[in-house]
Amino acid sequence: MASTLTPEQHQMMALTERIISGISLIGIFFIILTYLFASSFSKPINRLVFYASWGNLGLSIVALISLNGPDMGENSALCQFQGFMAQLFLGVDAYWAFCMAVNIYLVFFRSYNTKQLRSLDHKYFIACYGLSLIPAIIYLFIETKDRGRIYGGAVLWCWVSNKWSFLRIAVLYVFMWVAVLIAIVIYIMAGRYVWRKRDALDGFLNPFNEDPFTRDVVMTTSVTITSQQRKPSLSNLEVREIDQSHVDGTYDAYSVNIELGQPPQRPQRPRGQSRPAVFRLPTVTRAAALSEENVDAFLYARVAFLFFIALLITWVPSSVNRAYALAHPEYINFGLNFTSAIVFASQGLLNCLVYMATSQSACRKLWAKMLGREYNPPVVRKEESESSGIQRLDSDATSLTNLTAR
């Protein structure tokens, strides 16, 4: 364990940051441009991801500057700009994840609709960016003889300098983890609710499942046609002879029997290979759609939960690194700092993956348009299963018999 990093280690972190942040920038611009200019992406469940992407854009700029900021010196304009951007945008993802969790609570437990949620967007935007903007500006004007300016070298880039490191905990990490813990409580509450509805939400957590409310259906219809000789059933029926020349000898009386049969049984998975229902690719939607459930609520919850997982991937390594720095202030752990550099630079990339996973049909449509091809959306047939709380057409449902004609 060393008290400082070698120049080679610094260069390795800087190169890694810049490569990953460059990839993240591509993802961020994809989110921004498609949401603004492609109507198929502009849906409510993508809106908060779009708002959060601006914070990812700022953090990617910080990562691209990388060690150039500290190398220029803490009094340089570049270092102060980098420190300001880092303080402004580091906690934004956590705050937006908290806002998504609040929306989930409002939808699941207060029956909010999408219009009511949209009315909260401007409040969320002000809170998420304003909570970081105030200290970010104040730090620019604070300087003491003992500690110097607040913004200075912080291993990876210019941020709150090591002499002011307590501000990282008090002004960022505390607020961020309080927001995360409250979000976790809400997700646990929502998770229990989803678990009770698991039969209707087969495949809910599968990230490759764009709409956890669709499933292919196989419904069989059998038609049987039988012929039989008509016999008069009324004793007082008047019978007259008809000239046989007016009757086509090939014309027979007939009856029609139509039955709607059960879907064929799907092969059962061996018990040892069974997966939890919420992770399966095939899903059932109609159970929620035809009952009192709000389909949009489940779709929104899934996007928010995937966004939250991406947030944890980013912040857990950084928080471990921060805890280690507090416990061993005289040492710098290269592995933890290198991991923090990777996950911070990849925030935009992770959020783009969530965005694309929940907009797969829109992505396919955009790709077809770029190639000059016609987009043919897949045909989705709805399964109607009584075992999932839906009406089913079974073998005893309909029977039309003895439809006779001369």
Is residue 388 over pLDDT 50? no
Secondary structure (DSSP) of 55-87: HHHHHHHHHHHTTHHHHH-TTSHHHHHHHHHHH
Alpha-carbon gap, residue 226 to 221, rounded angstroms: 17
Of 48-62, 81-95, 133-147, 323-337, the poorest mean pLDDT is in 323-337
Mean pLDDT of the chain: 75
Nearest to 207 by CA among 392, 315, 353, 91: 353
User: Sorting pLDDT into bands at 50, 70 and 90, what band is 286?
Assistant: very low
Alpha-carbon gap, residue 225 to 254, rounded angstroms: 7
Nearest to 354 by CA among 312, 316, 393: 312
Query: If DSSP codes are grouped into helix, strand and coil, which group holds residue 177?
Result: helix
Is residue 398 over pLDDT 80? no
Cα angle for residues 380, 385, 391 (degrees, 5° grid) = 105
Of 45-49, 142-146, 387-391, the poorest mean pLDDT is in 387-391
**Is pLDDT larger for residue 376 or for residue 379?**
376
Alpha-carbon gap, residue 342 to 321, rounded angstroms: 13
- Chain segment 190-231, per-residue pLDDT in tens: 888 777 765 555 555 555 555 544 443 334 444 555 555 555
Q: What are phi and psi of 287, to 5 degrees?
A: -60, -40
Nearest to 142 by CA among 125, 130, 160: 160
- Chain segment 309-335, per-residue pLDDT in tens: 888 888 888 888 888 887 887 788 888
Percentage of the chain beyond pLDDT 90 is: 26
Q: Which two tokens stand for residue 70?
A: 């500290």
User: Sorting pLDDT into bands at 50, 70 and 90, what band is 42?
Assistant: confident
Is residue 137 over pLDDT 80? yes
